[in-house]
Amino acid sequence: MPFNVTSILFLIFFGLAACKDFRGSTEEPILITAIDTAYTETLYFKSEDGLRITADLYHIKKSAPIIVLCHQAGWSRGEYKEIGPKLNALGFNCLAIDQRSGGAVKGVDNETAKRAAEEGKSTDYIDAKQDIIAAIGKAKDLYGKKVVLWGSSYSSALALIVATETEDVERVLSFSPGEYLGTVNVNERIATLNKPAFFTSAKNEQGQTKLLYDAIESDEKTHFIPAGNGEHGSKALWEEKTDNAEYWVAVKFFLGVE
């Protein structure tokens, strides 16, 4: 079949568009195909009450599992700026969200919290539950499968509750959970959790962590206590933290990777 100049230019343009490695940010729906390229992108979606959530998508491939990453108090999705790519290397897509309760960390502002304040919405810890649920829904829309849910500090308490209540969560990781949710009794709310669950914390937090570990009925659960002092929340995995290597060994074992 003969090609003229117009045809060639069209094919070049179409080829570049089809092979585009999406980076930066978008507010448009993302279509992930079975044949895709690894990329990181900031995207937006709405929480249950209409608040717009900002999230970073660390994508490797459509067929890989998806982890929803939730940050600790006063922070943002920046908590996973270093962790997300490492989880990619282990074979997991990741969606790190800004919950409405938080601030800045590692140079990343919490855009969701800023919007919530501007719109006069409550930003108590428990209010972020709907943001986590919305993120699970977004992850399932993108990848068509159940998610691994990962929480840090107050969001780890929420993650345990959401994992108990939501069929779309297949397993949960909880870093430094505790009774952080005011009048909501976490111990009681997670009693029927019957999914694979990973609990850890700093060494001096192991008592409050064990209370929640003991509360769930799952027979596939892990309570990792570091040999060193450890750290509060997911920052235990940051390279700058002395005991990060032992946490990574425990996480990889729970996730079933080497």
Return the higher-pLDDT residue of 27 and 178. 178
5: left (phi over 0), alpha (psi -120 to 50) or beta: alpha
Q: Is the Cβ–Cβ distance between 220 and 194 less than 8 Å?
A: no
> Given the structure tokens 């890989």, which residue do they identify?
64
Average pLDDT score over residue span 243-255: 98
CA distances from 106 to 81, 82, 109 (A): 8, 9, 9
Question: What does the angle CA 183 – CA 205 – CA 247 come to, to the nearest 5 degrees?
Answer: 120
Judged against a pLDDT cut of 60, whether residue 191 lies above it is answered with yes
- Which has the minimum average pLDDT: 22-26, 59-63, 209-213? 22-26
Q: In which band, very low, low, confident or very high, does the pLDDT at 82 lie, cut at 50, 70 and 90? A: very high
In the chain the domains, ranked by start, together with CATH numbers, are 23-255 (3.40.50.1820)
Q: Is the pTM of this model over 0.85?
A: yes
